[in-house]
Amino acid sequence: MVLSRTIGSDSDASLHSTFASRYVRTSLPRFKMPDDSIPKEAAFQIINDELMLDGNPRLNLASFVTTWMEPECDKLIMAAINKNYVDMDEYPVTTELQNRCVNMIANLFNAPLGDTETAVGVGTVGSSEAIMLAGLAFKRKWQNKMKALGKPYDKPNIVTGANVQVCWEKFARYFEVELKEVKLSEGYYVMDPEKAVEMVDENTICVAAILGSTLNGEFEDVKRLNDLLVEKNAQTGWDTPIHVDAASGGFIAPFIYPELEWDFRLPLVKSINVSGHKYGLVYAGIGWVIWRSKEDLPDELIFHINYLGADQPTFTLNFSKGSSQIIAQYYQLIRLGFEGYKNIMENCQENAIVLKEGLEKTGRFNIVSKDNGVPLVAFSLKDHSQHNEFEISDMLRRFGWIVPAYTMPPDAQHITVLRVVIREDFSRTLAERLVIDIVKVLEELDTMPAKVTAKNEISEEKGIVNKTELEVQRKFSDAWRKFVANKKKTNGVC
């Protein structure tokens, strides 16, 4: 199934390559497998040429996902590119490396492990798979409990902030759990623990808190949530647990906020996910989910496969996958150690501050991200009367920068922000350069007429002559907001 629509006209049904004409003269059909083979050089050239038009990953400031690793690690990745992770019997060392990673991360998150106990967790493709697995464990545990009590178990729900990443909506829809979202309000862009706990009922399988809201990087107050929920559980006799979605913050908080209690130090936190490919500093394709203890992962969800003679417990959604990312994660953990991760995270935070201060100096932006949280800078224009953030985003593209603009979730959706994620490879020089380019864009926008009319707006407004420009502007941004809100579920900020 192809869900993506290809760009370009439908009549453009074939591909050409200038250089490949050295090897082939005929064009290739676009959507049908060609009848004949072509030389390997031609195939390489055609694909390589076309890919030049993709953005440069290092300038992609939209994403948390790692775009640079050391050449030594690239070597290890390429050497393992032909290893299927699921062949655990054949590649026992790879399996052992995954287990070491799980234990290292569980210890980093303060899992209450005895000296001889090993951690419970798995490597996944990313936080999304990790969240599906964690959600399934909560759902099954809750169902088992309700069954034992002789109560209905067909209406599970999960409580989150409206700022959750799209994968929670996916979990809810795919696995038939109602998502109860705590609404956001202006100036407060994360889940309010009080409101969340009010929404908890007997059918709540867990409350999911986010360590590092995707929108503005802010950490949710997991400790407060834990304390309020402990109280509510004591009053009601329920035992509603907490999951922490630490996709981006899981590799930040332990290093720069060691005192912050957000992890297994809090008794109701039963599972945590983290993306190895975000601040775990590995290329796309690795995430982790860790459970507090064996009791928090119902045994019936674990498959015991007898793979070529060995019993191998597994809990994943897919079967085959590459091994490289696991090896790369292990590389980073031992290569950097606590000290290395700490240095990198501190450096990211300092670069975020350089960028933030540069933007503040222009006097044109409100900063909506916090200094403590995931190192990113989210900012919006103070004055929307002439131009908006989407225009800035578009114009920055010309300098090569990829900076997304998007609206906040319901109840705060009249706020549009630009967001720059600071990764390890975003240097101070780049931060300063970006500020210079943003200033250039602002100066250029100042000389351009305001972009106020959309086609349908003109026809709708026909006959009304005395509408002020501001009113039209407002109507237009309302329409735009609605349009974006309807698209919210698919905008896939990652």
Write out the residues near ligand PLP by the rule CB under 6 A. 64, 126-128, 165, 167, 210, 212, 214, 245, 247-248, 275, 287, 494
| Of residues 283 and 331, the one with the C-beta less far from ligand PLP | 283
Cα distance between residue 163 and residue 182, in whole Å: 9
The rounded distance, in Å, linking the Cα atoms of 256 and 265 is 17
Least Cβ distance, residue 65 to ligand PLP (angstroms)? 7
CB of 483 to ligand PLP, least distance (A): 24
Q: Which lies closer to ligand PLP via its Cβ, residue 62 or residue 381?
A: 62
Kindly tell me which of 205 and 494 has the beta carbon lying closer to ligand PLP. 494
CB 457 → ligand PLP: shortest distance, Å?
35
Residue placing its CB nearer to ligand PLP in the complex, 275 or 388? 275
Is the Cβ–Cβ distance between 354 and 432 less than 8 Å? yes
Chain centroid to CA 360: 26
Q: How far apart are CA 182 and CA 157, in angstroms?
A: 13
Q: How far is the CB of 125 from ligand PLP (least distance, A)?
A: 7
CB of 301 to ligand PLP, least distance (A): 20
Identify which of residues 377 and 441 has a Cβ nearer to ligand PLP in the complex.
377
Alpha-carbon gap, residue 121 to 134, rounded angstroms: 10
The nearest distance, CB 127 to ligand PLP, in angstroms, is: 3
Work out how close the CB of 287 gets to ligand PLP at its nearest, in angstroms, rounded to a whole number.
Answer: 5
Question: Is 135 or 298 the residue whose CB approaches ligand PLP more closely?
Answer: 135
Q: Residue 56 burial by CB count (10 A; 0-12/13-18/19+): exposed, middle or buried?
A: exposed
Rounded to a whole number of angstroms, the minimum distance from the CB of residue 212 to ligand PLP is: 6
Q: How far apart are CA 190 and CA 485, in angstroms?
A: 18
Closest CA to 319 of 78, 2, 88: 88
**Cβ 403 vs Cβ 418: under 8 Å:** yes
> Contact 58/67 with Cβ under 8 angstroms?
yes
Q: How many Å apart are CA 220 and CA 405, to the nearest integer?
A: 22
Residue nearest to ligand PLP (CB): 126
Q: Which is nearer to ligand PLP, 128 or 369 (CB)?
A: 128
DSSP of 168-212 = HHHHHHHTT-EEEEEPPBTTB-S--HHHHHHH--TTEEEEEEEBS
Closer CB to ligand PLP, residue 24 or residue 125?
A: 125
Round to whole Å and give the CA distance between 473 and 446.
16
H/E element holding 304?
Answer: strand 303-307
